Amino acid sequence: MPIRTNRGRAAVYRRLWGWPLRSPKHLVATIVGVIVVITTISVVIPNAVKPRSTGSQGATTSTTQTITSGGNQVGVLPSATATPLPTKAPSPTAAPRSAPVNTEAQVIADMWVDAFGSFEPGKTTKEKWLEGLKPRTSDELFPRLASIEPANVPVVIDQPVKAVKSFTDSAEFEAQLEDGKLVVTVVKLPEGWRVHEFDKVG
């Protein structure tokens, strides 16, 4: 028969709360039951709240495939096996092309050789000797001439200066000396043809 009075309910509650205290066995059974209930709740509730794993795995697989595909879209990492860009190698220097002897280059070589062998000890000063060479000498070569003692310059034999090599922007000439040959290199500069190098051969 249902309990309809407060006194009856209180009596039932006293029996329920007092049951664990009637004996040590009741107390142990109660504690074990409480532990089982708490454990069950702690396992069931997280599993119920946890989202489905299939969608997450699918998204992860899709992301992995996108990253490893090596596409060009924004935010996509390139594949580790992508072919590296070729290194731009410097263009090879073009070989000089042979050409007929330039008339101006020939004139510069003739005048420079004449001025080079024009020094006369006791009559010509070093400054005068350099003045005759400077207009037809490159700026790089002139300091070397300034360091030369003109009295030691070999005597140039009065013979035509002949071209031995000729290119589009340079030419090489030879002049006869008493004890060998004078080789003169004339190059084309922005200011015109100038003697850029000379050497004694023989």
Q: Where are the alpha helices (DSSP H) in the chain?
A: 6-18, 24-49, 53-68, 103-116, 126-133, 142-146
Reading the block at residue 180, the tokens are 């060998």
Instruction: Tell which CATH classification among 3.90.1150.10, 3.10.450.540, 3.30.470.10, 2.60.40.10 matches the domain 103-201.
Output: 3.10.450.540
Number of CB atoms found within 10 A of residue 184's CB: 23
Would you state the structure tokens that stand for residue 59, as one six-digit string?
């998204």
The pLDDT tens digits for 108-128 are 999 999 999 999 988 999 999
pTM given for the model: 0.53
CA distance 74 to 47: 37
Delimit the domains of the chain by residue range.
Answer: 103-201
In a 13 Å sphere around the CA of 104, the CA atoms on its Cβ side amount to 11
- Does the pLDDT of residue 58 top 50, yes or no? no
Identify the pLDDT of residue 9.
62
d(CA 118, CA 112): 10
**Cβ atoms of residues 167 and 154 within 8 Å:** no
